[in-house]
Amino acid sequence: MRGNQMGKTENEPKRRILIIDDNTAIHEDYKKVLKGVASDSELDQLEAEMFGSSETPLNDSPEYETFSAFQGRDGYEMVKESIEANNPFDMAFVDMRMPPGWDGLETILHLWKADPDLNVVICTAFSDYDWSEVATKLGTNDKWLILKKPFDPAEVCQLAGALTEKRKLSTALNTRLSWLESEVRARTKEIEAREERLQTVLDVAPDGIVTINQRGEIESANVAAAAMFGYSQTEMQGRPVDILTSCDDSLTALKSMIEQVGLQQNRTVDCECQKSCGATFPSHWTIGKRIDGPGRFQTAIVRDESEHERMRANLAQAQKLEAVGQLAAGIAHEINTPAQFVGENTRFLKDAFDDIGTTLESLQRLVDKCDSDSLATEEKEAAKHAIDQSDIPYLVSEIPKAIDQSLDGISRISAIVRAMKGFSHPGSAEMALTNIHECLDNTITVCQTEWKYVAEIERNYDECLALVPCNAPEINQVFINLLVNAAHAVADSLEKSTETKGNIIVSTKAFSDHAEITIQDSGVGIPKANCSRIFDPFFTTKEVGKGTGQGLSIARSIIVDKHNGKIEVDSRPGEGTTFRIQLPLNRGEEVLSSQDENSAHQPLAEMVV
């Protein structure tokens, strides 16, 4: 007889086998076969009858521990107890006919109620059931096998080894699965906790966070994004990103940027967005690198720039008012000078008019006497005296001069007031065709107290320069920042030289597609190391208290970001500085219609050192 191929493992626990049979001798024969011991002589006949052979099995089978039950009900109770003790049987040999109690089929059904994973071998020579009925009752599964009598001891050993090994592996597998399920539950709980923390972070984030799939649809949106666009989070899911903007140019720029973003970079774009109610607002998008895979998506952080734009406008206006405030004392002095001689001339005219009135009255009386032919000597003397007192020749000579001086003073005052009004007016956000020369003249007038005593202003205007589409108040802000800086630079240079005054040259030039404005000074110049930083916010080379460091930063923002122009600086220490501004010469309506498009571009300020 061939032996079992499953050898013993060191320290392996014995495999537990339950034998349910109403014949005591059968129990002993099972035990002998499973222990690998040869039958003694008085059992040879029974062994031959039962097993059909007297060969001794090989002693390489696993070690088994056998348990006996002589009725099906007893076997059922033993299985129940083994389950309760957490020490189940590995398999059971069950005889089919065990009168007067349960037969083998009924016994197996009860055993499986106690232990659903118990492997069973049905041992029988006769059966009260048709095999198809057995299969119907027990089901077509791998938990039961049939061993017909007489059977070979090798079959018993093979079945015992295979089924107990199966139970062993099944138990190990169930243990492993249980551990894996426990790990999965723990990991799932950890992932859920992380997702909850992440969701909390997303919900409290002040900026909108949107995920976009490869079809250009919104997969998710946080609370801020939903509030920003006026939808619920559920309403945004699955809808195209097109709903977030009504501007074709902005949508094109946004989609183009989404497509350009790769696996290793983030990109930004400014565009006009639209709320569900139709209201629009400026926004800044930061589009994260693409996450590839079956669920490829991109993450976008959306920031509502409305408040930022308001703050930037307020900052520019505050800068303008700050400049006006710094110039207020000088402007008051400039207005006071013509106002003084206007007042003096007015008082002179009043006194002169009194004298002229007295003279005219005397002359009138003289005329009246002449008409009545009763002219007396005293009337002639009175008229002569009045004429002498009023000094008519002097009045005739000085009164026209006083009137001209007064008119000139009034004109100067009016010019300053008009320039101040035009410069300080907040204006609107719209572009308009503007006379750049008028803007320059107004600015020069407003800040004349800064340059009047340190520099001579030279104007070189190109008369061919047409009206330029721009925002006049903002351009005025740029001009005054550059002119005041130029005046300060010239003043600093005069402290180190014997010159009485420096020079500031303001020039314009017309090109086919742009207007160029140049402001050149003979000041101290800008050190090369600082040229790359002069447009940075709050950077200044002036002494403490003389500037905020915001002037050139605001100038760059106005020219580059808002007007899509350029601002360049060319400076040489000790020789002076030249600022060159270029503004596009588009038609007014084209500029108005392309402001959103321009805002989507981000040209950099060019600097020439």
pLDDT tens column, 477-502: 888 889 988 998 898 888 766 678 88
Question: What pLDDT sits at residue 534?
Answer: 76
Mean local confidence (pLDDT), 21-37 = 84
Q: Pick the more confident residue, 368 or 87.
A: 87
Q: State pTM to two decimals.
A: 0.41
Mean local confidence (pLDDT), 123-141 = 78
User: Residue 81 and residue 18: Cα distance in Å, rounded?
Assistant: 13
Structure-token pair, residue 29: 């024969």
User: Residue 576 and residue 447: Cα distance in Å, rounded?
Assistant: 20
Please write the tens of the pLDDT for every residue from 510-530. Answer: 998 999 999 999 888 887 767
Report whether pLDDT(101) > 80. Answer: yes
User: Residue 57 and residue 35: Cα distance in Å, rounded?
Assistant: 9
49-71: burial string, b at 16+ Cβ within 10 Å, e else: ebbeeeeebeeebbebebbbbbb
Question: What pLDDT sits at residue 18?
Answer: 94
Question: What pLDDT sits at residue 202?
Answer: 80
Considering only CA atoms, which of 550, 600, 607 is closest in space to residue 257? 600
Question: What pLDDT sits at residue 36?
Answer: 66
Beta-strand runs (E) in 446-573 = 455-460, 468-470, 502-510, 514-521, 566-572
Considering only CA atoms, which of 551, 568, 580, 582 is closest in space to residue 477? 551
**Integer distance in angstroms from the first to the last C-alpha of the chain?**
103
Report whether pLDDT(589) > 70. Answer: no
Mean local confidence (pLDDT), 277-306 = 79
Q: pLDDT grade, residue 1 (50/70/90)?
A: very low
Report whether pLDDT(42) > 50. Answer: no
Mean local confidence (pLDDT), 571-596 = 70
Query: Residues 347-356: contacts with CB within 8 Å, 24+ apart?
Result: 348/398, 348/402, 349/399, 349/402, 349/403, 352/395, 352/398, 352/399, 355/389, 355/390, 355/391, 355/395, 356/390, 356/392, 356/395
| Whether the bond into 99 is cis, omega within 30 of 0 | no
What SS3 class is residue 604?
coil
Percent of the chain surpassing pLDDT 70: 69
User: Residue 60 and residue 43: Cα distance in Å, rounded?
Assistant: 23
User: Residue 268: phi, psi to the nearest 5?
Assistant: -125, 155
Report whether pLDDT(106) > 80. Answer: yes
62-76, 228-242, 258-272, range with the lowest pLDDT: 258-272
Question: What pLDDT sits at residue 294?
Answer: 64
Considering only CA atoms, which of 585, 583, 549, 555 is closest in space to residue 474? 555
What SS3 class is residue 68?
strand
Mean local confidence (pLDDT), 414-430 = 60
Question: What pLDDT sits at residue 5?
Answer: 44
Considering only CA atoms, which of 64, 127, 135 is closest in space to residue 95? 127
Report whether pLDDT(582) > 90. Answer: yes
Helices (DSSP H) in 261-391: which residue ranges? Answer: 306-372, 377-390
Average pLDDT, the chain: 77
Q: Pick the more confident residue, 350 or 372.
A: 350
Please write the tens of the pLDDT for every residue from 458-469. Answer: 999 999 988 999
Percent of the chain surpassing pLDDT 90: 18
User: Residue 245 and residue 261: Cα distance in Å, rounded?
Assistant: 20
Give the distance, in angstroms, between the CA of residue 256 and the centroid of all CA atoms in the same chain. Answer: 17
Report whether pLDDT(115) > 80. Answer: yes
Backbone CA torsion sign across 494, 496, 500, 502: negative
Please write the tens of the pLDDT for every residue from 64-85. Answer: 999 999 999 999 999 999 999 9
Report whether pLDDT(398) > 80. Answer: no
| Whether the bond into 537 is cis, omega within 30 of 0 | no
Question: What pLDDT sits at residue 424?
Answer: 54
Return the residue matching tokens 């209201």: 279
Q: pLDDT grade, residue 287 (50/70/90)?
A: confident
User: Residue 447 and residue 452: Cα distance in Å, rounded?
Assistant: 9
Q: Residue 500 CB: number of other CB atoms within 10 A?
A: 9
Q: Pick the more confident residue, 388 or 105.
A: 105
CB 17 within 8 A of CB 92: yes
Considering only CA atoms, which of 251, 246, 172, 241 is closest in space to residue 208? 241
Q: pLDDT grade, residue 43 (50/70/90)?
A: very low
User: Residue 323 and residue 553: Cα distance in Å, rounded?
Assistant: 15
Q: Strand 144-148 to strand 119-124: parallel, antiparallel, or no bridges (unpaired)? A: parallel
Give the distance, in angstroms, between the CA of residue 326 and the centroid of all CA atoms in the same chain. Answer: 39
Mean local confidence (pLDDT), 322-351 = 66
Report whether pLDDT(600) > 70. Answer: no
User: Residue 282 and residue 597: Cα distance in Å, rounded?
Assistant: 12
CB 349 within 8 A of CB 395: no
Question: What pLDDT sits at residue 364?
Answer: 65
Question: What pLDDT sits at residue 124?
Answer: 80
CB 466 within 8 A of CB 583: no
Q: pLDDT grade, residue 21 (50/70/90)?
A: very high
Cα–Cα distances in angstroms (integers) from residue 62 to residues 27, 151, 264, in the given order: 18, 20, 60
Quick one: CA torsion of 189, 190, 196, 200, rounded to 10 degrees? 160
CB 399 within 8 A of CB 354: no
Q: Residue 114 CB: number of other CB atoms within 10 A?
A: 19
Q: Pick the more confident residue, 44 or 578.
A: 578
Max avg pLDDT among 371-385, 441-455, 535-549: 441-455
Report whether pLDDT(168) > 50. Answer: yes
User: Residue 231 and residue 394: Cα distance in Å, rounded?
Assistant: 85
Considering only CA atoms, which of 436, 404, 425 is closest in space to residue 473? 425
Q: Count of residues for the chain?
A: 609
- DSSP run (H or E) holding 123: strand 119-124
Report whether pLDDT(281) > 80. Answer: yes
Question: What pLDDT sits at residue 82?
Answer: 92
What SS3 class is residue 236?
helix
Mean local confidence (pLDDT), 308-317 = 73
Mean local confidence (pLDDT), 146-156 = 84
Report whether pLDDT(604) > 70. Answer: no
What SS3 class is residue 550?
coil
Report whether pLDDT(607) > 50. Answer: no
